[in-house]
Chains A and B, each alone.
Chain A
Amino acid sequence: MADTNKLTNLLLRIADGDDAAFEDLYYETYQSVYAYLMSLTKDPDDAQDLMQDTYIKIRGACHLYKDQGMPMAWILKIAKNLFLMKIRKEGNKDNAISELKILDKTSFDNVKDVDTRMYLNQLFTQITEEERDIIILHVVGGLKNREIAEALGIPIGTVLSKYNRAIKKLQEIAGKEDVI
């Protein structure tokens, strides 16, 4: 989970043409960006393609970043915009197709641990899309509630309530083995 000030600083340096900063930004954030895109696309290949596009956009748009203390939310907003563009270009693919993709458990083949694979499967099948986005942004992205609200374009109260509900659901499913 990347530090907000560090990310802000990296974005400003990239805007000044610092390639090393771009590499640092990538390694600080790519897992969160990928997780978020996985949540949106439910497909590893689509998520990878969009992640590539996201970083290319970031490179060309860093000068537009206005420091409001939420660099990660800004990055994820770019990712979401690209996802929406893709959906529009592909003619509003039916959600059912995406759901089928995720039911194919090979999506999580890269995950070594069996339990972890099971948790991810539950994350993608047992809770709603918005709840999943919130959990991923919080747990993987380390975003604060207001950043999640900004990234998803929903009120902070909704973030809080949906987060609590999603955790309850996952805990119930996991048999209350441990706590997020």
Chain B
Amino acid sequence: MSNRIRQGFEDMAPDIFQQIKASPYEIIQSEEELFSELIPKKAPKTKMKKKFIYSAASFVVAAAMVLCLIPGGIGHVDAAVGEIYLDADASIILEVDENNQIIGIKAGNKDAEDIVDKMMKDTDFPASISDVVDAAITGLKEKGHDTKDILVSYCYDEKKVEAVEEAVAVSADDCTIQSFQKNEEAAKEAQRNHISMALSHFEKSAGSDVIHTAEKESTTDTAKTSTNTNTNVNATTSATPYVSSSTETKKKVKRHWRTNESDTKETSTVAEEKTEEENINKGNVLADKIKERQQKYSGSEAIVTSRPTQE
């Protein structure tokens, strides 16, 4: 495709060098002259009478007070109805509002602070989910994380929004993806373990004994997990992760986890063909990885919140 686009413009571009050569030219004196349209011009100073300033200020204060009293006014803009977690070693949390827009970005741990700082500078809130998820993945990749090692989770309050889940699936299709409903118990457990709620959920549902594969889940509308037993534990789970009511979304949501040791990519279809033994090994590696993160972040500072300031 790139070759065709390049070739297309090569065919289109006219050779007008002789015309240019014959044209007279003037010496440009300054950058301001050269980039006159791109360099922002200083706004001319305007003299405002004091009286006008006072009345304008009074009006603004009065209007702000009225807006605070109106439902849906400026006192109510902060309503996040869902969160998107991006977990590698660094943890990023994106807040989604009822219009399916990102309204806030949080660093879940110290590793993510610089990524979040940069994202805050580059993002105009409210922002589209795809843009922000892309930027977060880019930030994590710049930190050396492989996309396949990033766990992207959509956590919803009461009602799952298909559009959000689909936006996540499209923007992060190379990552491991899950969705789950927020609950207080899970939040407390995550806090206790010093990991994000998404990782906590992943651990709880996938755990050391159970590996979820997308293919198996995507064939049913109910919560199912493939259960594999290791030598000591018979593991079944009643957790309801990865459940999507939309078949189309489910198809898009590929979940795979690349282990540190084998560096192999587990896609949903391949995973189905894996032997029980391999699944047990993989589960153990995943459990080790989560434990490693728990140890790394135990005692780490509380979540750092970065949100656009409300004016």
Contact = CB atoms under 8 A, between A and B. Distances in A.
A113 B7 contact: yes
Contacts of A84: 37-38
B63 interface: no
B47 interface: no
A170 B5 CA distance: 11
Given A123-B5, A161-B131, A179-B1, A110 B12 contact: yes
Name the residue in B2, B8, B16, B17 with the highest tally of chain A Cβ atoms < 10 Å from its Cβ: B8
Given A119-B8, A120-B5, A155-B122, A60 B26 contact: yes
B54 interface: no
B138 A157 contact: yes
Given A52-B16, A77-B38, A120 B8 contact: yes
A85 B37 contact: yes
A77 B38 CA distance: 8
Contacts of A111: 7-8, 11-12
Contact of B19 (A52, A115, A158): A52
B134 A115 contact: no
Given A61-B28, A155-B121, A180-B1, A23 B9 contact: no
Contacts of A115: 4
Given A26-B20, A38-B12, A61 B5 contact: no
B310 interface: no
A57 B26 CA distance: 8
A48 B16 contact: yes
Interface in A87-145: 88, 108, 110-113, 115-117, 119-120, 123, 135-136, 139-140
Interface string A62-100: 011000000000000110110011001000000000000
A178 B2 CA distance: 9
A52 B19 CA distance: 8
Contact of A161 (B5, B19, B31, B135): B135
A30 B14 CA distance: 9
Nearest to A87: B37
A108 B35 CA distance: 30
B9 A153 contact: no
B25 interface: yes
B38 A140 contact: no
Interface in B97-148: 118-119, 121-122, 130-131, 134-135, 138-139
A171 to B, nearest CB: 7
Nearest to A112: B11
Contacts of B31: 64
Nearest to B13: A34
Contacts of A61: 27-28, 34
B34 A64 contact: yes
B45 interface: no
B285 to A, nearest CB: 29
Given A52-B19, A157-B135, A157-B139, A81 B38 contact: yes
B2 A139 contact: yes
Contacts of B263: none
A136 B1 CA distance: 12
B261 interface: no
Nearest to A63: B27
Interface of B: 1-2, 4-17, 19-21, 23, 25-28, 30-31, 34-38, 118-119, 121-122, 130-131, 134-135, 138-139, 170-171
11 contacts: A30-B15, A31-B9, A60-B28, A80-B38, A116-B5, A117-B8, A119-B4, A120-B8, A157-B118, A165-B130, A171-B1
Enumerate the 5 nearest inter-chain pairs by beta-carbon distance, A residue then B residue, closest first. Answer: A161-B134, A84-B37, A34-B13, A61-B28, A35-B9
Interface of A: 19, 22-23, 26-27, 30-32, 34-35, 38, 44, 48, 51-52, 55-57, 59-61, 63-64, 77-78, 80-81, 84-85, 88, 108, 110-113, 115-117, 119-120, 123, 135-136, 139-140, 153, 155, 157-158, 160-161, 164-165, 168, 170-171, 174, 177-180
